[in-house]
A = this chain, B = another copy of it.
Amino acid sequence: MATKVVSDERRMDDPKASSREVLLASACALMTERSTIEISLSDIAKHSGLNSALVKYYFGTKQGMMLALVEDVLSKGLDRLEDLVAMDMSATEKLKLHVKAIITIYFRFPFINRLIHYLFADPVAGLEVAEKISKPLAETQRHLLEQGIATGEFKPVDPMMFYFIILGACDHLFFGQHIMRVAFHIETIDDAMRRRYTKTLLDMVLSGILTDEDKAG
């Protein structure tokens, strides 16, 4: 079931990798278009112009394909995460870029959140997502926090708790569209809201909601 993220160079040369990418791009397009992750193999075959047996060939199962899709969408973001750690920049600035990147991925790929939830409901796929996505994310955050604590920017923070607070906050905005409509009368997350949410979350994580007066008191 495990599938490898194909690097950009391979995509161009390898005709096998290319069909694989076409299938993933079709799944991505259909899930975005229909606002659901419930798409059939024959839908993917029709949209891509490829035989649905190729899904079996490349991914083993539909779930295998979903896992590959999650990895594909997130792999570029994860590559950039590694660059981020090495950059000559304050931990605070890195943290801002990090949170912005996570929210932007959720925003650009509206199905990704539901797909991740679907995969986490399966013990085997869940372990793989945790290993390939959550673990490197958590590692990056640990480095950012260590840097910020070492430079005196940040107070000591438990990296695991930090992970669940940040990822939970990013995930929940995109998970709770019923809630948004019913409790707040807002229909869709547009780009302005993406930016405001990023800012609000970062303000809260960095400085909290207490006024300076109240903190001093």
A residues whose Cβ falls under 8 Å from a Cβ of B: 92, 114, 117, 120-121, 123, 126-127, 129-131, 134-135, 137-139, 148, 152-155, 157-165, 167-173, 175-176, 178-184, 186, 196-197, 200-201, 203-211, 213-215
- A152 engages B182 (CB within 8 Å): no
B161 touches A165 (CB 8 A): no
* Known A168-B173, A176-B164: A208·B208 in contact at CB below 8 Å: yes
With A182-B130, A182-B135, A183-B134 already in contact, the answer to whether A165 and B201 are too (CB < 8 A) is: yes
A167 and B172 contact, Cβ closer than 8 Å, known pairs A117-B117, A127-B182: yes
Interface of A is mostly: helix
**Closest residue of chain B to A159, judged by CB?**
B184
User: In the complex, which of the residues B92, B127, B163 contacts A210, with contact meaning CB atoms closer than 8 Å?
Assistant: B92
Chain B residues, Cβ within 8 Å of A121 = 114
Chain B residues with CB under 8 Å of A153's CB are 210-211, 214
CB within 8 A of A134: which of B148, B167, B179?
B179
Nearest-CB residue, chain B, relative to A161: B200
A131 to chain B, nearest CB (A): 5
